[in-house]
Amino acid sequence: MNPNATTTNERVRDVLVHALASVVDLEVVVTTHRGHARELGEQALRDQKDVVVTLGGDGTINEVVNGMLVDGPGPGVPALATVPGGSANVLARSSGLPRDPVEATGVLIAGLEDHRFRTISLATADDRWLTMSVGMGLDAEIIAKMEQLRSRGKKATPTRYLATTLREYFAGTDRRHPAVTLQRPGEEDIDHVFLAIVQNAAPWTFFGDFPVNPNPEASFDRDLDVFAIRDLRIVPSLRWTRRLLMGSSAGSAGSGLFVGRDIPELTILADRPTAVQLDGEALGDLTEVRVVSVPRALRIVV
């Protein structure tokens, strides 16, 4: 349980804990530092727990999953149940859970009682597991700026995300010199890229209640989809923005936009250190990320 979960307070968390404890033998641990959730995920694996329940955002989930899968997928890995407690809650909402944490807990309790599980595909980005997405370029620059604001006590509201996006687009990112190239085994490189987003499922994120969908056909049931922008001039950018918000799946390598579907493996390269995000968490500036799809990697409660 992340004590800083943005969608709950102490009273609501107590209600959720009591509800879950009515159907499972529950041990509650509050995270105290960055990386703690990963330690707890690995501990749950070593202790042969049946299920790990997270109350927090996608960053907490990513840490837990990386701990549980430290030795890779297998029959001894606990199942994952996610109570949405963050600002976006992409994994929880993409797997069909209600946004409200109390309602979501009700669904999970029914799933635990009825033994309802779904086995989903994940992916690795170098030595880290990702549950939803990895990106290099403008999207990661926006996330890095948002993390700086949050570290100064600012909330991650949709309005603040929009303001940060506009500020990065017009005054932050380099819109003249694309740094990124996509490499796929046996395929032609996709170069001159400003922004690359690789998704394991859809949507990529949420703007409040509204889904943002670079790759609307991305699915937990198959390999990876990629969305890459090669033209950041204002008019094309308005076109890409409309596509994201409308959930369109159009696009080609020749039109300033590349869309690739069901890709088992790719490498994102940059000719200079470029911002990278994984599951909505900034990883810093890198020059290479190898992304590999891993089918049927994790069981989740539904």
* Amino acid code (one letter) for 243: R
| Residues 191, 194, 198: CA angle, nearest 5 degrees | 85
Residues 200 and 244 in one domain: yes
Domain extent, residue 44, equals 10-115
Residues 157 and 48 in one domain: no
pLDDT of residue 270: 98
The DSSP output letter for 245 is: H
pLDDT of residue 242: 85
CATH number for the domain harbouring residue 292: 2.60.200.40
Residues 47 and 185 in one domain: no
pLDDT of residue 155: 82
Q: Is residue 126 part of a domain?
A: no
Beta bridge partners of 206: 211
What are the phi and psi torsion angles at 189 (to 5°)? -65, 150
Residues 77 and 168 in one domain: no
Q: Is residue 302 part of a domain?
A: no
Please tell me the chain's helix, strand, coil percentages from 3-state DSSP, rounded to the nearest 5.
Answer: 30, 30, 35
The answer to whether 16 and 28 are in contact (CB under 8 A) is: no
Q: Is residue 87 part of a domain?
A: yes
The answer to whether 139 and 132 are in contact (CB under 8 A) is: no
Domain boundary among 54, 85, 115: 115
Say which residue the tokens 């159009």 belong to. 250
Q: Is residue 125 part of a domain?
A: no
pLDDT of residue 249: 66
Q: Which two tokens stand for residue 195?
A: 């922004």
Q: Could you tell me the mean pLDDT of each successive run of 10 residues in the chain, 302 residues long?
A: 82 92 94 95 98 94 97 97 89 91 96 96 97 96 92 84 92 94 96 96 87 93 96 91 77 74 97 96 96 97 94
> What is the number of domains present in the chain?
2
Element (H, E) at 11: helix 10-21
pLDDT of residue 254: 55
